[in-house]
C-alpha cells in the first residue's frame, strides 16, 4: 500500500446519483478518476492493470444503511475483487488506514521473503496493525480454491517484480554511472509502479549497498 493523491474535486455523478433512491457510485467518471488517482492499481495488494476493478468503500456502508458513506468521494477506493472480498469481513470494519491521509510506508514495512509476504506494523496502533494484517492476508490466504489461486497469482507476480528489481540493482551496483540503470530504477521505485511499497521498502533497508538512490524513495 502506498500513498494515493486523490483528485480534490469529486466526480460529478456522485452528487447526482446520491439524490436517487438506488443511485450508482460507480458511474464512468468515478471509475476513470479512481483508476487515474490509483495508477490503475488495487490500493490493497498493488496489483496493476486490473481486469476486475471494483469500487471499494473504505468504511463499509452495510447495504446503504450508512447512507452518508455510499457517495462520499473520500470513502471510495479502487480495488481488485480478491482484496475487496477479503476486506468485507467485519473484523476490518472502520479499521483500515486511509492511504490518502496517511503514508502507509511510514507506518508499515512491506517485506517479501522466501516466497512469502510479511507486513510489519511499526506501531501499536490498532488501525495500522489491522491494515498490515489485511494486506498480508490478501497474499497469503488459501482457505478456498479460488482464493488460493488468486493469492498465488499475486505472490508469483510479486516474485517476478522483485527479481527484476534485484537484477537491476546488481547492474546499477556494478556500473553506478550508467544512466539507463538509474532510469529503470527510477521507474521501478515510483509509487505508481506495481508492488511499489515492497520494492521501495527493500531499497530503503539496503541503501548502504546502493548509494545514490535516496531521492528515488522519498
Ligand atoms: Zn488487490
Q: How far is the CA of 218 from the centre of ligand 1 (A)?
A: 24
Number of domains within the chain = 1
What DSSP string runs through 6-63?
Answer: --SSPPTHHHHHHTSTT--S--HHHHHHHHHHTTTB-TTT--BS-SSEEEEESS--TT
Return the percentage of the chain with pLDDT > 70, whole number.
100
Taking alpha carbons only, the member of 197, 202, 195, 200 closest to residue 215 is 200
Taking the whole predicted model, whether its pTM rises above 0.85 is answered as yes
Q: How far is the CA of 103 from the centre of ligand 1 (A)?
A: 18
Instruction: Classify residue 6: in a domain, yes or no.
Output: no
Instruction: Classify residue 8: in a domain, yes or no.
Output: no
Determine the Cα–Cα distance for residues 130 and 66; give it in Å rounded to an integer. 22
Instruction: Classify residue 81: in a domain, yes or no.
Output: yes
Taking alpha carbons only, the member of 147, 168, 174 closest to residue 216 is 168
Q: How far is the CA of 176 from the centre of ligand 1 (A)?
A: 35
Q: Which domain holds residue 169?
A: 13-216
What phi-psi label fits residue 36: left (phi over 0), alpha (psi between -120 and 50 degrees) or beta? Answer: alpha
Instruction: Classify residue 2: in a domain, yes or no.
Output: no
Instruction: Classify residue 176: in a domain, yes or no.
Output: yes
Q: How far is the CA of 48 from the centre of ligand 1 (A)?
A: 9
Instruction: Classify residue 5: in a domain, yes or no.
Output: no
Q: Summarize pLDDT for 85-124 with one digit per residue, the tens.
A: 999 999 999 999 999 999 999 999 999 999 999 999 999 9
Determine the Cα–Cα distance for residues 99 and 3; give it in Å rounded to an integer. 5
**Residues 62, 80: contact at Cβ < 8 Å?**
no
Q: How far is the CA of 122 from the centre of ligand 1 (A)?
A: 22
Q: How far is the CA of 23 from the centre of ligand 1 (A)?
A: 25
Instruction: Classify residue 43: in a domain, yes or no.
Output: yes
pLDDT of residue 201: 98
Amino acid at each position: 500500500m502506498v500513498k494515493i493523491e486523490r483528485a480534490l474535486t469529486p466526480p460529478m455523478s456522485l452528487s447526482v446519483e446520491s439524490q436517487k433512491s438506488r443511485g450508482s457510485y460507480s458511474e464512468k467518471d468515478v471509475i476513470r478518476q479512481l483508476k487515474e488517482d490509483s495508477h490503475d492499481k488495487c490500493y490493497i495488494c498493488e496489483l496493476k492493470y486490473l481486469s476486475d476493478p471494483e469500487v471499494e468503500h473504505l468504511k463499509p456502508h452495510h447495504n446503504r444503511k450508512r447512507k452518508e458513506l455510499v457517495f462520499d468521494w473520500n470513502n471510495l477506493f479502487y480495488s481488485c475483487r480478491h482484496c475487496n472480498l477479503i476486506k468485507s469481513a467485519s473484523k476490518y470494519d472502520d479499521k483500515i488506514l486511509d492511504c490518502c491521509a496517511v503514508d502507509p510506508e511510514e507506518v508499515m514495512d512491506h517485506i517479501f521473503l522466501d516466497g512469502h509476504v510479511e507486513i510489519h506494523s511499526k506501531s501499536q496502533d490498532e488501525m495500522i496493525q489491522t491494515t498490515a494484517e489485511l494486506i498480508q492476508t490478501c497474499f497469503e490466504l488459501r482457505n478456498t480454491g479460488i482464493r488460493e489461486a488468486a493469492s498465488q497469482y499475486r505472490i508469483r507476480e510479486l516474485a517476478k517484480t522483485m527479481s527484476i528489481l534485484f537484477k537491476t540493482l546488481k547492474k546499477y551496483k556494478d556500473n553506478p554511472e550508467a544512466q539507463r540503470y538509474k532510469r529503470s530504477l527510477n521507474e521501478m521505485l515510483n509509487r505508481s509502479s506495481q508492488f511499489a511499497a515492497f520494492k521501495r521498502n527493500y531499497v530503503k533497508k539496503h541503501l548502504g549497498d546502493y548509494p545514490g538512490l535516496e531521492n528515488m524513495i522519498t
